[in-house]
A and B are shown apart, each in its own frame.
Chain A
Amino acid sequence: MEVFLPIAQVFVNPVEILLLSAIVGVLSGLFGVGGGFLMTPFLIFMGVPPAYAVANEANNILATSVSGSTTHYLKNTLDYKMGFMIVIGGAIGTVLGIYTFTYFKGIGKIDTVISLAYMYILAIIGTLMLVESLGEIDRAKRNLEVKKKLHVHYWIHGLPLRMRFPKSKLYESVFTPILIGLLVGFIAAIMGIGGAFILVPAMIYIIKMPTKLVPGTSLFVTIFVSVIVTFLHSINYGSIDLMLVLMLIVGSIVGVQVGQKIGEQINSSGLKALLAILLLVVGIVIAYDTFFAEQAQKEIVKALNQDLNFFSKFIKEFSEDMPFFYGLFSILFAVFLGISAAFIRRSISRFRKKYFNKTVKQSK
């Protein structure tokens, strides 16, 4: 069974997309990484043109980060002040990224740039993760403990305009979070990823935020960055396909919940090496596609409006006639699904606690 995507103009198998999105969601929940750097290449392998894969994955990331961030908001594990500083840099970086995207699209090289960027990002993350996980396994075997250095200062800590961040108990230059946000926003705009793999280590090792505030604040920043990326891609290129976005969001939200539950029960340090190998394999497949495989001309299907069903026709016309409102709608759609998922998760968790407590009391 195949479904035609009215905006991306390709046929996809919805079961495959839902399954892949759920698997990537499980990995995200299990290892605490964003799934963008895996899901976008998977979409490209499934025949979705890279420029569309990037934009739609950004919209999916918006829903998952809204869902995660709502949970952290309810737990009060968010530093808004620090988050807003990173968002300022993120907004500038996103705009710069969209300009770069437009430049490469203009010269017809955007697909190659996206593929190369993914190949190197996956190779770098995969290598670092593999080395780190092998080190962890090695240390665990020899029962060694690593003494971490406290208060290492880099040039970035000497920047001017310092201000207090009471929630994180820090006295830091405003330029530190802004510069980190700039880098994250730039990469997010070109690659359609949340940038958590840069943001989280930067918040821990460079900004030196308390670890408990890092995931929530990182997700909070990702919301704004992915809103800007989704909106700019939507109004500039009309590349958001709500049919694809819906499949991605449903798959990933369910997958993340399952991944988090599995993560609570198993020790994931051994599995980290497997994820690293998976990243390296995806990287080498992209390399093969870019360098060695014959450039198969992807079939672009030009569907006439009368061939489309009501929903596809509505999406296509809405996107073409009112790109501004379509962009806004895509954002609100993702935000609504994300918040709903967070509340459903909370209700389920409360119900389970109540039910579990009752059965425990009864057994006593």
Chain B
Amino acid sequence: MSEIIKKLPSEIKKNKLKTGVAVVLSAYWGVIIVGTLISLD
């Protein structure tokens, strides 16, 4: 686990496209899940 965390910054630099897609998708899912919870409230 600690090995993965250590390697993380270099992996992010190496795979900028993958990191970007992962960040955008996380934000996307965050918006729709939070939106659903708010609208159901």
| B12 lies within 8 A of chain A by Cβ | no
| A134 lies within 8 A of chain B by Cβ | yes
What sequence of 0s and 1s flags, for each residue 19-34 of chain B, a beta carbon within 8 Å of any chain A beta carbon? 0010001001101100
Chain B residues whose C-beta falls within 8 Å of the C-beta of A177 in the assembled complex: none
| B38 lies within 8 A of chain A by Cβ | yes
Count, chain A residues at interface, CB 8 A? 16
One of A131, A134, A287 near B31 (C-beta < 8 A): A287
Given known pairs A134-B17, A134-B18, the reply for A287 and B25 (CB within 8 Å) is no
One of A119, A123, A134, A287 near B21 (C-beta < 8 A): A134
Bound complex: CA A130 to CA B28 (Å): 13
Chain A residues whose C-beta falls within 8 Å of the C-beta of B28 in the assembled complex: 123, 127, 280, 283-284
For B24, give the chain A residue with the smallest CB separation. Answer: A280
Chain B residues whose C-beta falls within 8 Å of the C-beta of A119 in the assembled complex: 32
Given known pairs A291-B38, A291-B39, the reply for A130 and B32 (CB within 8 Å) is no
One of B18, B29, B39 near A290 (C-beta < 8 A): B39
Given known pairs A127-B25, A291-B39, the reply for A283 and B17 (CB within 8 Å) is no
Given known pairs A130-B25, A290-B39, A291-B39, the reply for A123 and B18 (CB within 8 Å) is no
One of B25, B32, B39 near A120 (C-beta < 8 A): B32
A contact residues vs B (CB 8 Å cutoff): 112, 116, 119-120, 123, 127, 130-131, 134, 280, 283-284, 287, 290-292
A–B pairs, 14, beta carbons within 8 Å: A112-B39, A120-B32, A123-B28, A123-B32, A127-B29, A130-B21, A131-B21, A134-B18, A134-B21, A284-B28, A284-B32, A287-B31, A290-B35, A291-B38
Given contacts A116-B36, A134-B18, A283-B32, 6 further A-B contacts (CB under 8 A): A123-B29, A134-B21, A284-B28, A284-B32, A287-B31, A290-B35
B contact residues vs A (CB 8 Å cutoff): 17-18, 21, 25, 28-29, 31-32, 35-36, 38-39
Task: State the 5 A-B residue pairs at the shortest beta-carbon distance, nearest first.
Answer: A291-B35, A287-B32, A291-B39, A287-B35, A127-B25
